[in-house]
Structure 1
Amino acid sequence: MRIPSNDISQGLMQRVTEAAAQQQSLQLCGSGSKVFLGRQPSGSPLDLTGHRGVINYEPRELVITARAGTRLDELEALLAAEGQMLPFEPPHFGDTATLGGTAACGLSGPRRPYAGAFRDFVLGATLINGLGERLRFGGEVMKNVAGYDLSRLMIGAMGTLGLLLDISLKVLPLPETECTLVQTCGEAQAIELMNRLAGTPMPLSGAAYDGLNLYLRLSGSEQGVMAAQGQLGGEVLEEGGRFWQRLRELTHPFFDNRRPLWRLSVASAAPPLGLPGKQFIDWGGAQRWLITDQSAERVREVAVRQGGHAQLFRGGDRTGAVNQPLPAALMQLHQQLKQALDPKGIFNPGRLYPEF
């Protein structure tokens, strides 16, 4: 299925060229479903939602290319009609979520440890750099590359490196069946079990712990899922699909709280963190959601000690350091990339880090 290109990209290139000439910063705006992420936005708003539509979809090749303004629900519906899916299970955070905004935030859902992250499925991307030039990186086939894979560097960059026009993605077939098992256990026991099972051939596609119950999602062939269910035991959660959807979209009752919400990425086998507040464990132990009034310094100290980092995901002071401060050498590398792609610093200034 192909949709002819339009002139919207030309208009965007012209707008960026003008902004660069005037050294005017731009705030890249999609549907606004994820505007709460990152630091406080700044710059002249540039609406990108009109640049939408699927450019190419080859179900037999498991590849789709779509413009960044394409709504995520429309994209997933198109894939589902062919029995396929986005394997990284991206959260929407709203009915109007777009592919570009999801890419900019780099978010993946509960399936991420078992299928891969968003950037693992990126084949290529077209973008406008900070000089108004149209650049294409990668393609529509999976291959190894030397040096920086710039199409994948755009994932999670919060729009600070360039304006995404379109993205080519690898997709996968939907599983034949899914089943969610639940059992009551302690936190340390849940972490140990999730990590032990991850090293087995079990068809795991989700593992989470809410402080009382451990939830294990099995996905695959009916025969394989039934066999795994018999080995694992536990009770079948009748509304398993709804549980994982609410976890993915942060609409589970745990997240119904106005206090600061932290997202800690740590080693999956890291022991209980010992921080005060409420905690929800996802990604088989590697993602720890934390609602706490502890200081940012304390939360980040604990995350680093467990081999990871912490992000102030929602709430709190959005003008400060929302993401874990980078070591000097890594920050220098980030700044060099920013200089190469956006030399005048016009794209989403300060959205990712105060330094750029």
Structure 2
Amino acid sequence: GAGKSTLMKILAGIYAPDFGKIFLNDAQILNFSPKNAQELGIAMIFQEINLFPDLNICENIFIRRELMKKRGWVAYIDWDRMYRETRGYLKYFGLAIDPKTPLSNLSLGHQKFVEIIKALAHQAKVIIMDEPTAALTESEIVLLFRAIREVKKLGVIIIFISHHLEEVIEIADSITVLRDGSVIKTDSIEKMNLSHIVKMMAGKEVEDSYPKFVKKAGAEILRVENLAFAKRIFNINFSLKKGEILGITGLSGAGKRTLAKTLFGINTPYTGSIWVEERPVKITSPRSAINSGLCYVAGVGNQEALIQSMSIAQNITLTNLERVSHQGILSRKQEMDVMGDFAKWLEITENPLEIVGNLSGGNQKKVGLAKWLFA
């Protein structure tokens, strides 16, 4: 919510600035739009994959900018040249992948490569990457950083947006810290260190980034015994007491999200047993999970997280409309009151009527959490 993604969307022509000027190669950019930005060589790679899963690699790279050839008065798509150039790009980045491979068959990491190649094929001079490592495995991040360094050798400017400070320190030459929509400082990476960056981001000294709270665990709240689903997760067992936090980690495809969706009733039927407050429950749907006190905060960019076309207030209250209704009629005043409470608590500074799809990734995460806290 510091304003990183919003600023970059202005540079990409998606949002119009309220005031100020943008210069490229010492020339001011006027009448800025996404089309104009692309023509000027400014490309943006969003946090969510922004490609067509049903098209192959080559088709995604050259869509709307197909290479043409003429036979007399008739123009044709030059598929041979497009596939040849795609193979060249893939070879440059060390990827032994057929250009005719459907995008849906690629890992998230390789799909990010396709987006980078697409930007280069469009002669991008500036590539903006918004949280490019989100949902990538460690090995995919290594490959992505190698690609970024190769792109840098071509003289292309990279703007790398991330809240993962270790990644920024590893890949960047200089760093700009934003807080609450304002620039706090810009300097070379050699003059910055982790604690200094954290202080600028937080606006105060942070003595311990991960403080340990000594808290006596309460009664058992959740217990899972021998949980399995569709040969994707097997024999899962754990117990959680009131006040405890259980961290679940693993590589991409390890079953983390499958486990979460099974507990929330999206993945059914399952085998094994789930106990809530020492009582066995049968989770057959998300509604039955909610009634048992289980909620699922999905990741940003996931269609299961938020309804992008609805407002912040509508998304938050959607999980329990009865609390903001009277005799079956929704009370907008109560909805706004609820929004006001969560806005203060979670520091959501946007207008309650703002459409969620217009929010930054950070603010969408806050809304997603508020939605289930309200439930």
TM (normalized to structure 2)?
0.28
Q: Larger strand proportion, structure 1 or 2?
A: 1
Q: Which has the larger radius of gyration?
A: 2
Q: Larger helix proportion, structure 1 or 2?
A: 2
Structure with the greater relative contact order (CA < 8 A, sep ≥ 6): 1 or 2?
1
TM (normalized to structure 1)?
0.29
